[in-house]
């Protein structure tokens, strides 16, 4: 991986000087032509390409510029400058990725394997791989394409890498086929250890992420369960006996009623009075709690 980097450096003409800015200032030339020290150091002489390509300032041109600034030079030589560039190496890429993923549990001991990366030179600067640059793969493939950039002089210059970020972790697996629409029971799943991608945020890693949840479709036996395959259970399920908070002015009662439909917090569902058998609407407050009347809490 270091070979292209060396090639980029060797492309510079002999005696060409690298600078950290994409602007050539008089002070840069003065470092090699002492007479140029009499020109104001921040006087701009030109620009260099962010690709690292060399820029040659001819001696005759430098002589004219110096004369215009009131400085006489005798036959100054040509001077070559190029912006200092590099090709991000795997260790640098890994460090930048770890920094972005610092809040991910287990990232400190995770393995980050770089299979390939961009090979075009970029100016020296901060190497960043933002979460927004992650292109997660479909299916079970663990390698990701991650687009990043090098921040240099206010510009973000693109780079990319293909990587696997894996560690020893856990996942929830179905013991047998689990039907859709019914809450998952603890005897239908198991927790197992595995080597898996830490970038897969859809995998269920703990039992409490699946127990009581409703499969959207049949979950196949011996396959890992993903949170995207599940729906949260309703706060009130159809047929359940529910606490009904009844408000009438200053009066407040709590009675039992039977839910005739399911619902989540904030939704309106139909309840049945156990004594009269009549149905009435109520607003879901939370788990097995609803309210009716002129006050919703």
Confidence of residue 11 (pLDDT cuts 50, 70, 90): low
Q: What average pLDDT does the chain have?
A: 90
Neighbours of 184 (CB within 10 A): 23
Confidence of residue 250 (pLDDT cuts 50, 70, 90): confident
Distance CA 145, CA 143 (A): 7
Q: Which string of b and e fits 149-164 if b means at least 16 CB within 10 Å?
A: bbebeeeebebbbebb
Q: Is 62 a residue whose pLDDT tops 70?
A: yes
Distance CA 224, CA 262 (A): 28
Q: Is 7 a residue whose pLDDT tops 50?
A: no
Nearest to residue 107, comparing CAs of 86, 125, 129, 87? Answer: 129
Of 22-26, 78-82, 105-109, 136-140, the range with the lowest mean pLDDT is 136-140
pLDDT in tens, 166-212: 999 999 999 999 999 999 999 999 999 999 988 888 899 999 999 99
The architecture (CATH level 2) of 241-293 comes to Roll (2.30)
Map out the domains of the chain as residue ranges: 2-85, 90-166, 168-231, 241-293
Of 106-110, 205-209, 218-222, the range with the lowest mean pLDDT is 106-110
With tokens 């901060």, the residue in question is: 126
Q: Is 1 a residue whose pLDDT tops 60?
A: no
* Class of CATH domain 168-231: alpha beta
Total residue length of the chain: 297
């Amino acid at each position: 991986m270091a070979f292209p980097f060396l090639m980029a450096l060797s492309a510079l003409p002999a005696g060409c000087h690298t600078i950290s800015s994409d602007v050539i200032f008089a002070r840069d030339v003065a470092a090699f032509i002492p007479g140029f020290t009499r020109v104001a150091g921040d006087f701009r002489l030109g620009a260099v390409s962010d690709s690292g390509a060399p820029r040659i300032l001819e001696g005759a041109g430098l002589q004219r510029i110096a004369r215009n600034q009131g400085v006489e030079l005798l036959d100054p030589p040509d001077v070559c400058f190029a912006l200092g560039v590099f090709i991000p190496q795997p260790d640098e890429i890994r460090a930048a990725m770890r920094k972005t993923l610092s809040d991910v549990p287990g990232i400190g001991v995770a393995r980050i394997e770089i299979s390939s990366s961009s090979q075009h030179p970029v100016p020296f600067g901060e190497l960043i791989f933002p979460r927004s640059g992650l292109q997660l793969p479909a299916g079970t493939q663990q390698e990701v394409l991650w687009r990043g950039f090098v921040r240099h002089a206010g510009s973000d210059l693109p780079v990319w890498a293909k990587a696997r970020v894996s560690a020893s972790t856990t996942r929830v697996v179905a013991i047998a086929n689990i039907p859709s629409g019914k809450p998952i029971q603890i005897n239908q799943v198991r927790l197992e250890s595995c080597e898996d991608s830490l970038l897969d945020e859809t995998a269920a890693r703990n039992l409490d992420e699946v127990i009581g949840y409703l499969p959207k479709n049949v979950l196949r036996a011996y396959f890992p369960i993903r949170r995207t395959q599940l729906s949260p259970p309703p706060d009130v399920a159809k047929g359940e006996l529910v606490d009904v908070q009844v408000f009438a002015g200053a009066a407040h009662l709590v009675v039992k009623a039977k839910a005739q439909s399911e619902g989540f917090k904030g939704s309106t569902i139909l309840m049945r009075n156990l004594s009269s058998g009549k149905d009435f609407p109520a607003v879901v407050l939370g788990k097995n709690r609803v309210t009716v009347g002129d006050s919703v809490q």
